[in-house]
């Protein structure tokens, strides 16, 4: 290798490099691991040659660094004059997310119950026949037990059809007094229509204490309905049947859409059905080892989408699951 020729070549290449990319290529060619100079340095046997080659390396590095800085500055200057920024153009819109209406409604419900001293629990969605039906005293022939109505995972396990199994889990795990609310998804094999969807949310309340009465149940639901739909709401009960409560009732809330003047939503009755409720059947208490002579309980279960529909005047359940941003942005 002729060091002088190499230096001349390298300096010529540095001088003609016209961009930072090109100078980078020059650096690799003359100083890279496989460059002539690096290979020569590795072969050096005497001090004198070593010193000379190292000095050459330093000169080349200096020349390349200097040229690179020059080119980088020139490129920046060019960019600053060419890419002119029009500061009067409108900025890009910042896309902030919003909470889903189901989540918003769920939080209102949770807050209302927390205010009453209830514990909020999150329970499993895959249940067993034992918890979803047997412990809730569903008759062996009850239609909900069939594969036509319910999504089964296997013979024993299914997607819960209601949040009521949470009652059993909580009563098995603790001694009364119990005040709990469980919120979450439930599943039913329904066709999708304007008002039905095979998956939806419920909130389930359970209170077990000494001497609870229907008045306590009614007062509790009234509190939550007022938190959801405003101070003017009233609650009334219609008798009904549920396997795990006795007596069983369906609570109605005075129509929050028309304030009882009569509208399509309440079918001009002034009242809207909310869900199910009742006094916990003594048999259910006995099954979980709670003494029904000493303890009484009330329970209720209502739809969360239903509540959100009433809060916001939405006539269908489908939009809650379509997640169309044009809908969701309105909340």
Structure tokens at 8: 């001349």
Smallest distance, ligand DAH to C-beta of residue 304, A? 12
Rule CB under 6 A: choose which of 135, 164, 182, 307 binds ligand DAH.
164
Q: Residue 222, class by beta-carbon neighbours within 10 Å (0-12 exposed, 13-18 middle, 19+ buried)?
A: middle
Rule CB under 6 A: choose which of 299, 308, 310, 317 binds ligand DAH.
299
One symbol per residue from 262 to 291: x for binding ligand DAH (CB under 6 A), - otherwise; what is it? -------------xxxx-------------
Smallest distance, ligand DAH to C-beta of residue 144, A? 9
Instruction: Answer yes or no whether residue 204 interacts with ligand DAH by CB under 6 A.
Output: yes
* Helix 304-312, helix 101-115: angle, nearest 10: 100
Instruction: Answer yes or no whether residue 133 interacts with ligand DAH by CB under 6 A.
Output: no
Rule CB under 6 A: choose which of 131, 229, 242, 295 binds ligand DAH.
242
Give the pairing type, strands 178-187 and 119-121: parallel
Stretch of 97-105, 207-215, 230-238, 295-303 lying at the interface with ligand DAH (CB under 6 A): 295-303
Q: Residue 110, class by beta-carbon neighbours within 10 Å (0-12 exposed, 13-18 middle, 19+ buried)?
A: middle
Rule CB under 6 A: choose which of 68, 123, 127, 162 binds ligand DAH.
162
Residue 279 and residue 206: Cα distance in Å, rounded?
Answer: 10
Say how many residues touch ligand DAH, by CB under 6 A.
Answer: 12
Smallest distance, ligand DAH to C-beta of residue 170, A? 12
Judged by CB, which is closer to ligand DAH: 14, or 272? 272
Residue listed under structure tokens 């690179």: 68
- Residue 267 zone, left/alpha/beta (φ > 0; ψ -120 to 50; rest): left
**254 by DSSP, 3-state: which?**
strand
Q: Which residues bind ligand DAH (CB under 6 A)?
A: 162, 164, 204, 242, 245, 275-278, 299-301
């Amino acid at each position: 290798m002729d060091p002088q020729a190499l230096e001349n070549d390298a300096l010529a290449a540095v001088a003609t490099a016209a961009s930072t990319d090109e100078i980078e290529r020059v650096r690799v060619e003359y100083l890279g691991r496989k460059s002539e100079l690096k290979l020569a340095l590795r072969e050096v046997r005497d001090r004198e040659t070593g010193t000379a080659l190292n000095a050459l390396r330093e000169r080349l590095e200096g020349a390349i660094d200097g040229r690179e800085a020059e080119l980088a500055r020139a490129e920046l200057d060019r960019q600053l004059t060419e890419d002119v920024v029009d500061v009067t153009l409108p900025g890009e819109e910042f896309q902030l997310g919003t909470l889903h209406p189901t989540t918003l409604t769920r939080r209102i419900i949770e807050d209302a119950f927390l205010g009453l001293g209830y514990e909020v629990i999150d329970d499993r969605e895959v249940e067993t026949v034992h918890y979803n039906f047997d412990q809730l005293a569903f008759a062996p022939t009850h239609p909900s037990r069939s594969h036509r109505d319910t999504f089964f995972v296997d013979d024993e396990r299914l997607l819960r059809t209601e949040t009521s199994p949470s009652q059993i889990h909580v009563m098995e795990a603790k001694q009364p007094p119990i005040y709990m609310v469980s919120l979450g998804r439930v599943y039913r094999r329904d066709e999708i229509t304007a008002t039905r969807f095979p998956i939806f949310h419920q909130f389930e309340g359970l209170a077990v204490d000494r001497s609870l009465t229907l008045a306590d149940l009614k007062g509790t639901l009234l509190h939550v309905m007022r938190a959801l739909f405003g101070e003017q709401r009233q609650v009334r009960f219609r008798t009904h049947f549920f396997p795990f409560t006795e007596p069983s009732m369906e609570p109605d809330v005075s129509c929050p859409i028309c304030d009882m003047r009569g509208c399509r939503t309440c079918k001009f009755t002034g009242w809207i059905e909310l869900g199910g409720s009742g006094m916990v059947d003594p048999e259910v208490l006995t099954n979980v080892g709670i003494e029904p002579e000493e303890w009484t309980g009330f329970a209720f279960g209502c739809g969360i989408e239903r509540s959100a529909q009433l809060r916001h005047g939405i006539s269908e359940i489908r939009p809650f699951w379509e997640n169309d941003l044009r809908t969701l942005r309105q909340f």
